[in-house]
Amino acid sequence: MIFKTTRTIGIMLLVWALLFGCENAPSENAAPATVPSPPAAGVIVCMGDSLTAGYGVDEAQTYPALLETRLRDDGFAYRVINAGVSGETSSGALARVDWMLTLDPDIVILETGANDGLRGVDPALTRRNIEAIVAKLQARHITIVLAGMQMVRNLGPDFTRAFGAIYPDIATAADLILIPFFLEGVAGRPDLNQPDGIHPTADGYRIIVNHIHPYILQAIDRHRQKLTNGG
Amino acid sequence: MPGGMLSKMIIRELRQNRQQTTVLFLCIVLSVVGLTALGGFQANVHQAMLRDARELHAADVIVRSSFPFLPAMESKLAGLTSRADVAMARVWEFYTVVRTPDASASLLSAVKVVEPGYPYYGRVVLASGEPFHEMLAPGDIVVEQTLLDRLGLAIGSRLFLGDAEMTIRDVVISEPDRPVTVFTLGPRIFVSARDRQRLGLITQGSRVRYMALLRLPASLSPEAVQEELWSAADPTQERVDTFRSADSRLKRFFDNLLFFLKLVGIFTLLLAGIGIQSVLTALMRARVKTMATMKALGAPNRFVMRLYLGVVLLLGIFGTACGIAAGLGLQQGLTFLLADLIPADATFEVAWGAVGQSLVVGLLAVVLFAARPLLNLKHFKPSALFRHEKQKNRWLPGEWLTVLLTTLFFVALVLWQLEDLRIGAYFIGGLLVLVGVAFLGTWLFLKALQRLAVRHLALRQAIRGLFRPRNATLAILVTLTASLTIIYAIFLIEKNLDATFVQAYPQDAPNVFFLDIQRDQTDAFAQLVDRPLEFYPIVRAKLMAINGQAIDPGRERQRKSDNLARPFNLTYRHHLLDDEKFVEGNTLFNPNGGTFQVSVLDRVADIGNIRMGDRLQFKIQGVPLEATVSSIRTRTRESMQPFFYFVFPDAALQKAPQAIFTALRVDPSEMAALQNRIVQALPNVTVLDVSQSIRQIAGALDRFSQAMRFFTLFSMAAGILLVVSSIIATRAARIREAVYYKILGAPGRFVLYVFSLENLLLGGASAAGGLLLAHLISWVVCVRYFDIAYQPYPAASLAGLMVGILAVVLVGLSASRSIMRRKPIQFLRAHAAE
């Protein structure tokens, strides 16, 4: 307790710890943009919040890292980039779409909105933000996989209903590939979540990758079709 | 030898040396008063802190989980509560979006569902003044005023929580355990546990904090119960805390304050020891001739010994008794000063530990310190009296034993005060090193002074004055230095504690935070708020490497302090904040250094051993960025104001994805309206209202800081008085110099001048040395023990130095004044025998 050189961590840090997570947060990127990798069939950018960033688990255990390995095993040499930011709301996601586009993605897995819900942001705003993000990505002919989300039940039936409807509505309207519920089989299970009850453990992420895998294959299929049609 | 003779002689001794015996008596009284009163207050403050810490958690032991408790925990809890004297209340906390019955408005609110026992300590204060649980009948809720304001409701209004329509019965003013969760996203709603099922909100797929609060009888230690519950807990889900183990800023302040009080206690003890020792030594030195004369006239050794033992014992007993009485009186009399701290229902309690300690210190210190000169008496040859022989300084086994006993006695007292063997050992070790350093420094200083060739007559005389035989300059200097060290150290530590904990919550500290403002919303936001604002752009990024050396997340996570592997919040700007200054460099960025420069806060520079010119590699959401360290900043005070480890030039980060953050001080009466305005216009902005927690924390800190300041002043005053008395005692003895000067025709002004210079040398050396050592002690205590930043307070230190020197000079002169005023012939007649 004594004889250590730490100093008081200001209370502001607490704000970050609470909202964005602070300790043990993993790296954001599976592969640095500058490191040359074997000729890739394409780039998949995983855009999202702490569920994508992999709050509290090691970099290699986050879903983008696991997904890249899984796809390699399938014979798809896609580079999967983790562009998750812990604590981000859909407003933040919308604001950084242009930055994310510098990664030149072929496929974007869009997982956002959970923090909006947890902070009680009006679902109508979340809906508008996601619609705007989708529009920007589609303007660049990027294949989108939309990760559907459901809100924790304690927020009340009206709120969870309005929130849950956002994802299928947008997917139908914009013809996106929809993962009905990103945390299917993981949410609410103590054994697959960290002590905070909302962030999956490494085991949880393995289940998530199993669950989303067919949707990603579907997206790869679409991407390839675009390539053959376009080129 | 008849006893009547002895007592007559004792009385005569006391009467004849009135000045010195009075000083010794006062010294003993003062020491004992200090120890008794301080000990008593310490006990009071300790109790008050324990009470506050309990209230802060509303229970003795708390079990928490994000999921329903597992069967193992449930059965352990059932076992515990089967005891009649253990009480348990369950609490569920979660957020929900409440809505008005007409569905016109909704709001995210922080719900707390409580069973009847809650809170076991402290009180939920309602606007109506009614008892909390009487207002919380089934179907009723108690809400924070902000909720009414934001939804436009009043008491009696209906509100939907989940499936249930509830009635607002009352407004909550404060809840004891609010500061535990400082930041909340919405106003509080209290719901009775009997409505828990009706709400339908605590169910599969809900995010709820499950808690069990336990109240234990005095016979059960919270730590033992915690241990027992931990054995049944699943550590991946369940947490068990006691009100003592749960970490919080307030708790840290309490711990530090408690240690500070112990330190002050020990310091007062040491000052008392030093004071008694120096006064007693001076008294004995002055009496040596009388003792020798008695022996020469045939008085047996034992008689002389008994005589002086009688003198000191009488003074000791009487002084200690007076001191304890005065100390208790002072403690009771000043209780009103700390009225805020002391529970209204608590009766005045005598801290018997403190009284016992005072008694032992008062009597034993006197006897132990007197023992050495008395033991020496046996070997004093009457002939020495006539031959003006120098006393041989041979140490006898008895004297060694006395010194050993005295040391052991103080070591035992220090350990007893600190109640921790390891820290006590560090403390005593450090103290010994310090005394050694002070001794060595003083010795070197005197040696250097002796070699100095001074032409100035008065100064030369002053320096010679220090080296005259029997002046005991070394002893006086060490005594003064040690005393001043202690006084300065108390002062500096208190200032640092105050700066870290108390001043971090000034009246204008921010009480509401706004997160996630988007870049194109700053103008709108500024308009809505309509007051001066600082916008802090935040770019989330990770530090990947320093000078190409990759950050190792595994190693970083083992750090107890902040670690370099977490995502950081970068910002960009070109100015220093009000509470920042440069440690290295004098501009944030080198004007010719290009775009990619970074200014680093010293705190993170220390963690990562980052230096000027180092290259830091960041990754901003997938995109790498390398920057060179162009300056290192530090914060001048701990505060609620935001701070940033890494600051970049605008050009480096302006294009990166960012959110904007700001902090404001808002009057509580405007809070709801402001939140409404902002959420309506900018619904994506997250508002963190911390006003209630801040108010509660600041209130507690304020009360305890008053106590802290009182202790500091009290012990400093006692210390100064002890220093004064020892100066008077030691300096008066060597005043005959003045007489000789006068005989030799020196004008009174010259004598005064020489004496002033001599005292100035003493005061300057001891105050400077003391200040230096005090900074060292305070730095160690603050940085190593309290784990807080250390500020040296140069201006206050300088002022302290001046006061110290001035005090030594003035007291030294005033001690010699009476003698200087006397005609030389009177003095010579009185000392004709010599």
| Distance of residue B566 Cα from the nearest chain A Cα, in angstroms | 5
Q: Do A153 and B203 touch (CB under 8 A)?
A: yes
Q: Do A121 and B684 touch (CB under 8 A)?
A: yes
CA-CA distance, B515 to B671, in Å (whole number)? Answer: 16
Residues near B831 by beta carbon (within 8 Å), at least 6 away in sequence: B736
Of B162, B540, B783, the CB nearest to A85: B540
Chain-chain contact of B640 with A12 (C-beta, under 8 angstroms):
yes
The two three-digit tokens of residue B27, written as one number: 């010294």
In angstroms, the Cα distances linking A177 to A79, A114, A214, B532 are: 19, 19, 10, 47
pLDDT of residue B456: 83
Give the alpha-carbon dihedral of B240, B244, B246, B252, to 10 degrees. Answer: -170
Same domain, residue pair B791 and B741: yes
**Residue B526 and residue B378 share a domain:** no
Check if A181 contacts B (Cβ < 8 Å): no
pLDDT score of A160: 95
The answer to whether the CB atoms of A91 and B516 lie below 8 A apart is: yes
Among B654, B689, B724, give the residue marking a domain's end. Answer: B689
Residue B485 CA to residue B716 CA, distance in Å, equals: 11
Task: Give the residue-averaged pLDDT of A109-124.
Answer: 94
A67: phi then psi, degrees, rounded to nearest 5: -65, -40
Q: Which of A16, A156, A188 sits opposite B162 (nearest CB)?
A: A156
Low-confidence ranges of chain B (pLDDT < 70): 1-3, 180-182, 246-249, 334-351, 373, 377-395, 468-472, 504-507, 557-561, 622, 637-640, 729-739, 742, 815-834
The beta strand positions in B735-785, using DSSP E, are none
User: A31 in contact with B at a CB cutoff of 8 Å?
Assistant: no
Which residues of A fall within a CB distance of 8 Å from B236? 190, 194-195
Chain A residue with CA closest to B682: the answer is: A125
Number of domains comprising chain B:
3
- Assess A228–B contact: CB distance below 8 Å, yes or no: no
Q: Which domain holds residue B392?
A: 3-52+251-503+698-830
Catalytic residue among A86, A106, A116, A199: A199
User: Is there a single domain that holds both residue B468 and residue B603?
Assistant: no
Distances (CA, A) of B199 to B111, B202, B323, B344: 11, 8, 64, 40
A157/B200 Cβ within 8 A: yes
Structure tokens at A71: 């796809």
Euclidean distance between CA atoms A176 and A179, whole angstroms? 10
Tell me which amino acid residue A121 is. V
For residue A196, indicate whether it is catalytic: yes
| Residues of chain A with C-beta less than 8 angstroms from the C-beta of B785 | 2
- B586/B705 same-domain check: no
User: In terms of domains, do B310 and B324 share one?
Assistant: yes
Convert B349-374 to b/e letters by CB count within 10 Å (16 or more is b). Answer: ebbeebbebbbebbbbbbbbbbbbbb
User: Looking at residue B350, what is its pLDDT?
Assistant: 64
Do residue B559 and residue B677 come from a single domain? yes
pLDDT of A165 reads 96
* Domains contained in chain A, CATH given: 11-230 (3.40.50.1110)
Hey, are the CB atoms on B638 and A28 less than 8 Å from each other? no
What are the helix (H) ranges across B152-248? Answer: 196-199, 222-232
Q: Is A50 a catalytic residue?
A: yes
- Give dist(CA B447, CA B318) in Å, integer: 42
Secondary structure letter of residue B267 according to DSSP: H
Looking at the structure, tell me whether residues B492 and B569 fall in a common domain.
no
Exposure of B804 in the CB half-sphere (CA atoms within 13 A): 31
CA-angle at B60, arms to B54 and B65, nearest 5°: 110
Hey, is the C-beta of B524 within 8 angstroms of any chain A C-beta? no
Q: Do B624 and A33 touch (CB under 8 A)?
A: yes
Tokens representing residue B485 in the block: 């060290």
Chain A residues inside the 8 Å CB shell of B569: 16
Residues of A in contact with B97 (CB under 8 A): 120, 155-156, 158-159
Q: What is the pLDDT of residues B413-471, one digit of tens each?
A: 778 777 778 888 888 888 788 788 888 888 888 888 888 888 888 888 888 777 766 56
Q: How far, in Å, CA of B378 to CA of B391, rounded? A: 12
B chain contacts of residue A92, beta-carbon cutoff 8 Å: 516, 518, 657, 659
Q: Report pLDDT digits (tens) over A27-36.
A: 333 333 444 4
DSSP 8-state secondary structure symbol assigned to residue A180? S
The residue in chain B having the minimum alpha-carbon distance to the alpha carbon of residue A3 is B784
| Mean pLDDT for the stretch of residues A212-216 | 96
Closest chain A residue to the Cα of B236, Cα to Cα: A195
Check whether residue B169 and residue B297 sit in a common domain.
no
Nearest to B566 among A23, A85, A155 (CB): A23
B365 and B234 co-located in one domain: no
Q: Which residues of B touch A96 (CB under 8 A)?
A: 621, 657
Q: Give the residues across from B168 on adjacent strands.
A: B141
pLDDT at A13: 34
CA max distance for chain A: 67
A16 CB neighbours in chain B (<8 A) are 569
A34 to each of B175, B318, B623, B624, how far by Cα in Å?
Answer: 53, 84, 8, 8
User: Does residue B307 share a domain with residue B437?
Assistant: yes
Q: Are residues B194 and B67 in the same domain?
A: yes
Cβ atoms of residues A197 and B66 within 8 Å: yes
Q: Tell me, yes or no, if B555 comes closer than 8 A to chain A by beta carbon.
A: no
Length of chain B: 834
Among B689, B724, B759, the domain-final residue is: B689
- The answer to whether A4 faces chain B, any CB pair under 8 Å, is yes
Does B94 reach chain A within 8 Å, measured CB to CB? yes
Q: Tell me, what's the pLDDT at A136? A: 96
Whole-number Å distance between alpha carbons of B246 and B237: 16
> Which residues of B are less than 8 Å from A9 in CB distance?
561-562
Beta bridge partners of A90: none
ipTM greater than 0.85, yes or no? no
Nearest CA in chain B to A124: B683
- Provide the strand spans (E) within B243-365: none
Look at residue A4 in the predicted model and tell me its pLDDT: 30
pLDDT score of A34: 42
Give the closest residue to B604 by CA, choosing from B651, B644, B547, B652: B644
Q: Do the Cβ atoms of A32 and B97 come within 8 Å?
A: no
| Residue B322 shares a structural domain with residue B351 | yes
What pLDDT sits at residue B211?
Answer: 95
Q: How many beta-carbon pairs below 8 A join chains A and B?
A: 211
CA-wise closest residue to B56 among B213, B173, B230, B259: B213
Alpha-carbon gap: B642 to the closest alpha carbon of chain A (Å): 6
Cross-chain CB nearest to A153 (options B185, B201, B426): B201
Does B658 touch chain A if contact means CB atoms closer than 8 Å? yes
Q: Which helix (H) or strand (E) element contains residue B91?
A: strand B87-99
**A68, A80 Cβ separation under 8 angstroms:** yes
- Is A199 catalytic? The answer is yes
Rounded distance between C-alpha atoms, residue B34 and residue B273, angstroms: 12
Q: Which two tokens stand for residue B579?
A: 């509470």
Domain end residue (candidates: B689, B723, B744) = B689
Q: Looking at CA atoms only, how far is residue A225 from chain B in angstroms?
A: 27
Mutate to test the interface with B, among A7, A45, A62, A183 (most CBs of B within 10 A): A7
Searching chain B, which residue's CA lies closest to the CA of residue A91?
B684
Does residue B187 have a cis bond before it (omega within 30 degrees)?
no
Q: Which residues of A touch B500 (CB under 8 A)?
A: 8
